[in-house]
Amino acid sequence: MPSPGINEIATVTLRNRTGKAADNMKKNNAILYYMQKSGSYKPVSGGRTIVQELEYQENTTFMWYSGYELLNVSPSDIATAAEFDWKQAATLVTISGLEGEVQNVGENAIIELLTLRVKNAEKTLQNNIAIAMYSNGTAASGKQIGGLQLLVADSPATGTVGGIDRSVWTFWRNQSWSAVTNGGGAMSASNIQSNMNNLYLRCSRGTDRPNLIVADNAYYLFYLQSLQAIQRITGTDQTGAGFTSLKYFGGGASADVVFDGGIGGGCPANHMYFLNTDYIYFRPSKGRNMVALDNRDSFNQDAMAKPIVFAGNMTLGNAALQGALIA
């Protein structure tokens, strides 16, 4: 019986590997891990854009009345929708005829070579998506996903998010707290908790409170140092997932404070993001969530390539419950 050809081996190898790729990606950084835990990881089945329905004001018919006074029966427009464009990304696994049929002879040898390249392609795609989750969406001529620097902006009264102009619509502005401008001094271990408390309260509404705080190197270190005089409180679940994390207690509820800087971390310098993951989402396409496409055989080269692709974006359901702590 003849041994399998290089294309067949590549197809089987990619199928075996990429079946777990999407799940690996969800645990690749703190934001995705917590979105998976909280239900904010919401794949999309299709559509021209990714539509995020949202409420933007209260029902305007509310009134106090007396006796037979007429009630307000006017229609009340309370809902709208933000639209987010699809963003696409890909990495390619390639193998030449020389590598597959001359240098790495035998099925096992080819599988070893392909597995190495597939793992690298997956990590490359995962790492770039993780970094983009903190971006403002302008890289690659605007083809990058819109991350936290767009959705939870340092200057929330400017820019357009999901087709809604923040300079016009105040409901669509996130919270922002500057240590210098609002707190009265440069961020340090001695004042970081006071700054965090102020932003936390701004992002709170009834039982809706931030449940995830992601920090860069400097701000995480300041918070860590501020706790050294007391017992340090760590979270076990996220630590088990590979994240360096602490707890923040405020307003009767706790939030996980997660270090998302370090080597290759995407959190921008001197930032802490206070997130309510009930209202901010990562929305990949169900059909293009780290999926391997068919082989691409070159017509003018002795080589084969297989793309691993992603499509999706981050979306926002309530901006006012999210916050950025800045210098």
Distance, CA of 173 to CA of 324 (rounded, Å): 11
Structural class in CATH, domain 6-56+83-326: alpha beta
Cβ 136 vs Cβ 150: under 8 Å: yes
pLDDT of residue 54: 86
Low-confidence ranges of the chain (pLDDT < 70): 1-28, 97, 99-111, 229-244, 250-252, 264
Helix, strand and coil content of the chain, in percent to the nearest 5, comes to: 30, 25, 45
Cβ 286 vs Cβ 43: under 8 Å: yes
Indicate the residue type of 115: T
Count how many residues are written for the chain: 327
Distance, CA of 279 to CA of 176 (rounded, Å): 17
Q: Say which residues have a Cβ less than 8 Å from residue 109's Cβ, sequence separation at least 6.
A: none
Distance, CA of 277 to CA of 195 (rounded, Å): 21
Q: What is the CA radius of gyration of the chain?
A: 24
- The encoded tokens of residue 20 equal 């777990």
Please choose, from the candidates 281, 39, 268, 41, the residue with its C-alpha nearest in 3D space to the C-alpha of residue 135.
268
CB atoms within 10 A of CB 154: 16
pLDDT of residue 3: 41
Distance, CA of 119 to CA of 123 (rounded, Å): 6
Query: Which pTM was predicted?
Result: 0.83
Map out the domains of the chain as residue ranges: 6-56+83-326
pLDDT of residue 16: 58
Distance, CA of 272 to CA of 295 (rounded, Å): 42
Please choose, from the candidates 245, 196, 209, the residue with its C-alpha nearest in 3D space to the C-alpha of residue 30.
245
Q: How many CA atoms lie within 13 A of 176 on its CB side?
A: 20
- The encoded tokens of residue 326 equal 């800045």
Indicate the residue type of 143: K
CB atoms within 10 A of CB 191: 16
Cβ 323 vs Cβ 152: under 8 Å: yes
pLDDT of residue 109: 63
- The encoded tokens of residue 248 equal 């923040």
Distance, CA of 316 to CA of 187 (rounded, Å): 28
pLDDT of residue 161: 96
